């Protein structure tokens, strides 16, 4: 590709045409910073696919999709980068072709190794790392304080749902499964009672029908949350706007999202 100064200096003529709307939106300098950034994305389920799509279309320099897991029968329902018939293949490798086709100007790579085996030096090559991990400490709010009690009425119930799901994952070492729907539903309700009681709040803050929505990824939810998270990554890389402060919760049944400012205890 031939670089052209009037097209932006460091942005090729082809890139200037490809990213014209973005350059008009957040400026050339922000796009140049984004175009120089490399991102590590760990986990290529439904949400990971949405994040990958948005970052690739935004025009980062490179995206490495890391996932050691195989494609499950449930994955194609929410993970649009995976082709039909890919069950049993590595999830990142099965996503590569469609991901790369989104934008040939982005260097899309695959890594199938477990992240825990990576040396610290591996991570230094990336400008941003997207890792789905436990947020237990960040969610430890002391609800007995006067400030927390005052905020309780306007705190979304999704916050407490997340607490329940984190406890389930800690206890069972997995997410709720449709193969054990009855057993897991009962356990989720018990965990709800225990967790909310330990937080000093009423279990009624999380209605019992919440269990119906805990057994699979929902493609529309992945699309919305993936778009918001990718937007936050773009903000960080382009240094264009401040990020959200500090939790974003999206209710797929109500079709609404909310930003909560929740501090540690």
HSE on the CB side for 206, CA within 13 Å? 28
Q: What is the C-alpha to C-alpha distance for residues 245 and 260, in angstroms, rounded to an integer? A: 7
Most confident of 181-185, 218-222, 246-250: 181-185
Of the pLDDT bands very low, low, confident and very high (cuts 50, 70, 90), residue 265 is very low
Would you state the pLDDT for residue 133? 62
Most confident of 106-115, 136-145, 159-168, 244-253: 106-115
pLDDT (average), residues 53-79: 94
- Asked which of 60-69, 92-101, 196-205 is least confident by mean pLDDT, the reply is 196-205
Looking only at the bridges linking them, the beta strands covering 128-131 and 107-111 are unpaired
Packing angle of the helix pair 219-238, 46-58 (nearest 10 deg): 40
CATH class of 13-128+219-249: alpha beta
| Between residues 32 and 249, the one the model is more confident about | 32
pLDDT (0 to 100) of residue 213: 81
pLDDT band at 263 (very low <50, low <70, confident <90, very high): low
- pLDDT for position 7: 37
Assess whether pLDDT exceeds 60 at residue 79: yes
Residue 240 is predicted with a pLDDT of 78
pLDDT of 152 higher than 80: no
Q: Which residue has the higher pLDDT, 160 or 2?
A: 160
5 pLDDT higher than 50: no
Phi, psi of 200 (to 5 degrees): 80, 25
For residues 44 and 66, give the distance between their C-alpha atoms in angstroms, rounded to a whole number: 7
Is pLDDT of 72 > 80?
A: yes
pTM above 0.85, yes or no: no
% of the chain exceeding 70 in pLDDT: 86
Question: For 18-41, what is the mean pLDDT?
Answer: 90
Which pLDDT belongs to residue 2?
30
- Who's near 192: CB < 8 A, 6+ residues apart? 160, 164, 203, 206, 208, 210
* pLDDT range class, residue 245, cuts 50, 70, 90: low
- d(CA 108, CA 130) in angstroms, rounded, equals 15
* Domain residue ranges in the chain: 13-128+219-249, 135-212
Q: Which residues pair with 65 in a beta bridge?
A: 41, 110
């Amino acid at each position: 590709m031939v670089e052209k100064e009037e097209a932006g200096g460091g942005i090729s003529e082809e890139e200037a045409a490809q990213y014209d709307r973005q350059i008009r939106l957040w400026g050339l300098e922000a796009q140049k910073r984004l175009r120089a950034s490399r991102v590590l994305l760990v986990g290529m389920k439904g949400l990971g696919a949405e994040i990958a799509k948005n970052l690739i279309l935004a025009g980062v320099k490179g995206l490495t999709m890391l996932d050691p897991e195989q494609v499950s029968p449930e994955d194609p329902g929410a993970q649009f980068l995976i082709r039909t018939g890919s069950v049993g293949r590595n999830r990142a490798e099965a996503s590569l072709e469609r991901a790369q086709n989104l934008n040939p100007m982005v260097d899309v790579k695959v890594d199938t190794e477990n992240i825990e085996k990576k040396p610290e030096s591996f991570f230094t090559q990336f400008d941003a790392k997207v890792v789905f991990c436990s947020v237990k400490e960040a969610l430890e709010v002391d609800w007995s304080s006067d400030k927390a009690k005052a905020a309780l009425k306007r705190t979304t119930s999704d916050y407490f749902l997340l607490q329940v799901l984190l406890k389930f994952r800690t206890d069972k070492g997995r997410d709720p499964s449709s193969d054990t729907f009855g057993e897991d539903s009962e356990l989720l309700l018990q965990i709800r009672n225990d967790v909310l009681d330990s937080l000093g709040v009423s279990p009624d803050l999380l209605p019992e029908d919440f269990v119906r929505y805990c057994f699979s990824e929902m493609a529309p939810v992945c699309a919305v949350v993936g778009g918001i998270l990718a937007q936050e990554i773009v903000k960080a890389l382009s240094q264009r706007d401040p990020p959200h402060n500090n939790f974003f919760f999206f209710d797929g049944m109500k079709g609404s999202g909310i930003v909560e400012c929740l501090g540690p205890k």
